[in-house]
Structure 1
Amino acid sequence: MIRISTCCLAVSAALLGLSTMVAAAQGRGREQGENANVSPVYGVKLPKGYRDWKLISVAHEAGKNNDIRAILGNDIAVKAYREGKRPFPDGAVIVRLAWQYESSPRNDAVFPAPQSFVAGAPTNVQVSVKDSRLYAASGGWGYGQFDSGKANPSEALTRSCFACHAKLDAGSDQVFTAYSH
């Protein structure tokens, strides 16, 4: 009788353990589905509503990129920019939208000489998220690049974000863009 009870107890424990593992695996599957659009290395997501955030600055990147950029920030980032607060507080998110930098024959037809450049086709969106605890190894910043709304899966590209930002002076908190009043 004791052997049967022990055997039943062992089988029950095994079934409970198996059902717990299955439930956990199903939960991970749901999480991976929900988080499928996150950057490698840092797990950064494309923030909801970022296109409605405040403008921090614009930039033209020449050379290989040859793009025009709008740099936007959430309320935490914008407040830190306006107050000159460095390092940025946790929760600050900076988004850089980029488009091909193109001349505008339509606009130039109005002017006495070619001079108009506009945003052409979109290239990508880059996101920087400040969380000094989660991203301690990368100066408190997590990075992601999104192409056509999807996270770029290249770990090498994502790691290069920190490598480049880390070259900035200490007072910048690894942020390229200055606030344009």
Structure 2
Amino acid sequence: MKTRWVVLPIALVVLGLIAITAADDARAARPASPIYGVTVPDGYRGWELVAPAREAARFDELRVVLGNDIAVRAYRQGSLPFPDGSVLVKLAWKEVQSPDFASATIPGAATTVQVMVKDSKRYAASGGWGFGRFVAGVPTDEAQHRTCFACHQARVQGRDYVFTRLAP
């Protein structure tokens, strides 16, 4: 009887360690962007809306940017630069005509999920931001990722390299 009470806690600890290791392995196995190693964050679809946007011709996309709690707090406080731990996720879809309302367009096929992660030490060479661009859950190639920071640097350096403003 005593043996069972000794073995049971040990077995529970071992099972817990196996579960933690499996979760870490699953996270490590997620596809990561070249150059930056950014992955699509868990639970991002439940994050707060930062702003929607419509991207005109050449892209013809509807886009929304979501932010984690850290990023949204920084937006609301108007504090720049964004603090480390801020994460922004942009979802994009092809813009299509609504079948139900002639003057409306709606999201069609998903095109990309783009991620920005603020870590001023890890990404010091790119303004403190790491970038990820994913199509169907798979990161795009290195050449596309090489364009991320250059574009942000050229256009929104004064806003901590972030295009999206908080929607009123």
Instruction: Tell me the TM-score normalized by structure 1.
Output: 0.76
Counterpart position of 1:66? 60
- Which sections of structure 1, spanning at least 5 residues, go unmatched? 1-29, 109-114
Partner of 1:140: 128
State the structure with more CA Rg. 1
Partner of 1:19: none
- Which of 120, 123, 130 in structure 1 is aligned with 2:118? 130
Shift of 1:149: 1.5
Number of residue pairs matched?
145
**Which TM-score applies when normalising by structure 2?**
0.81
Aligned equivalents of 2:62 and 2:153: distance in 1? Answer: 23
Cα 1:34/1:170, change in 2 over 3 Å: closer
Pair 32,74 (structure 1): closer, same or farther in 2 beyond 3 Å: closer
1:162 and 2:135 aligned? no
Shift in Å, 1:31: 6.7
Matched residue, 1:93: 87
Q: Deviations over 1:41-94 (max 9, x none)?
A: 000010000000000000001121110001000000000011111110000000
SS at match of 2:100: helix
For the Cα contact (< 8 Å) 2:156–2:162, is it kept in 1? no
Q: Give the % identical residues.
A: 50
Name the CA distance, whole Å, in 2 between partners of 1:105 and 1:33. Answer: 39
Q: Which residue of 2 aligns with 1:43?
A: 37
